[in-house]
Copies of this chain bind each other. A is one copy, B any other.
Amino acid sequence: MISTVIDQPNAEAVADSRIRGDEMHSLLRRLYPICRSITGDGVRDTLRILAERIPLRIHEVPSGTPVFDWTVPPEWSIRGATVVGPAGKVILDFADSTLHVMGYSEPIDARVPLDVLRAHLHSIESQPDLIPYRTSFYRRTWGLCASHRLVESLEPGEYDVRIDSSLFDGSLTYGELRLPGDTSEEILISTHVCHPSLANDNLSGIVVVAALAEELRRRRRRLSYRFVFVPSTIGALTWLSRNVDALRGFSSGLVIAGVGDAGGHTYKRSRDGGRMDRTVIHALQTSGRSHAVVDFVPWGYDERQYNSPGIGLPVGLLSRTPHGTYPEYHTSADDPDFVQPSSLEDTLALCRTIIDTLDGDRTYVNRSPMGEPQLGRRGLYALLGGTGDIATAELASLWVLNLSDGEHSLFDIAERAGLPFAVISAAADALESAELLSPAASPSSTVTAGVTHGSQA
């Protein structure tokens, strides 16, 4: 627990430590050229760069390791790829875009006729200038991706195709950071790290989650937090399979991905609902941000795994424009220019509010419950009567007093009042200072109430 103590500077330092959008965007630009996949040096290099900022623990899990119904696949390494046309001209080069090679493509070094090349060449007819992102993780084949315009322009003849990749017994890499708090109750924050040069999906999630971790490790924490940076699906499953017992300590979680575009936020509920859903929705509603809330579906990012019946951890998804619904999605148009620094900064601020709300929740008992106490003589209420107005702080005080019966936490009160948690929390501080509130005798953690998930294995 020493790290907890070390991590707690004073409040001013906390305010100073806020990471700006341009800082996150710089990191995003640095990570952009790296060719990530579900295994390989791309993930390793990405995590090492993040580890310059946060004390990330980097795990390597050998190929062939059983993971629930799955097996950790061979490691994939990609060094280069070119296609040389009949006239001897290089028409496609991995050096131009990591998207040109289909993820997990087998190596090839052969002269093939156009029709064979075309059968292995992916493009999007409706977006003829963009290179698509395609993968074939679990079926061995070779493949390349290119703009449809290029594909259409290819003339009959023989093409020299070379993909300098290899598939070998290596390992799957993921990063993890645990920030212990005053209680062992733990919150999962997860993002995927397996996409090559794609900026919104998924570098935006990586840089915001890293910034959140960086900020959070500098402050005192009531709850514990686990940040995981994992390759999609197999990485999340691998982390889960190695943390089955620890899952009982988790109360909820959040996947953060696709938060850099200019759209408003979208929150996708967890399968079973609960505190994380309520907290994120309350934060969105009381902040006045444009947003949408959508129901859980068992399709999307790694919330699919966390909300599976055997895991049952209520994990929501925080995005901006939903994946698959914007034209840049999984194409070369999802580049750093598509990501707005202001969006990154705003999502980080939202995450800060979410964490503040989860972490700062507490339950009081009103020590003067018969009617309202006389706030005026304590300097907590306007003394000139008749104006018909009430200040937000006064209204917040009345709400806290009215519902602090030991059964409603400050978050419950904030939710009912429709006021930001920070306003309710500040009112409670003032009322506690005035000795009008006492901490509830056995402050049942409202966060863990009713948690029944965990391994069924």
A residues with CB within 8 A of B: 68-70, 103, 132-139, 233, 236-237, 240-241, 244, 271, 297-299, 304-305, 307-311, 323-324, 329-330, 366, 368-374, 376-377, 383-390, 395, 398-399, 401-405, 417, 455-457
Contact = CB atoms under 8 A, between A and B. Distances in A.
A305 B402 contact: no
Contact of A103 (B304, B385, B395): B385
A402 B330 CA distance: 26
A398 B237 CA distance: 16
A402 B308 contact: yes
A410 to B, nearest CB: 15
A133 B304 CA distance: 60
A167 to B, nearest CB: 16
Number of copies: 3
A25 to B, nearest CB: 25
Contact of A386 (B132, B309, B455): B132
29 contacts: A68-B371, A69-B371, A69-B372, A69-B374, A103-B386, A132-B386, A133-B386, A134-B384, A134-B386, A135-B385, A135-B386, A136-B385, A137-B385, A138-B374, A237-B370, A241-B370, A297-B398, A297-B417, A299-B390, A299-B395, A304-B371, A305-B372, A309-B366, A309-B369, A309-B404, A309-B405, A310-B371, A323-B388, A330-B386
B134 A387 contact: yes
A389 B300 CA distance: 10
Contacts of A103: 385-386
Contact of A308 (B69, B369, B377, B388): B369
Contacts of A271: 402
A377 B304 CA distance: 18
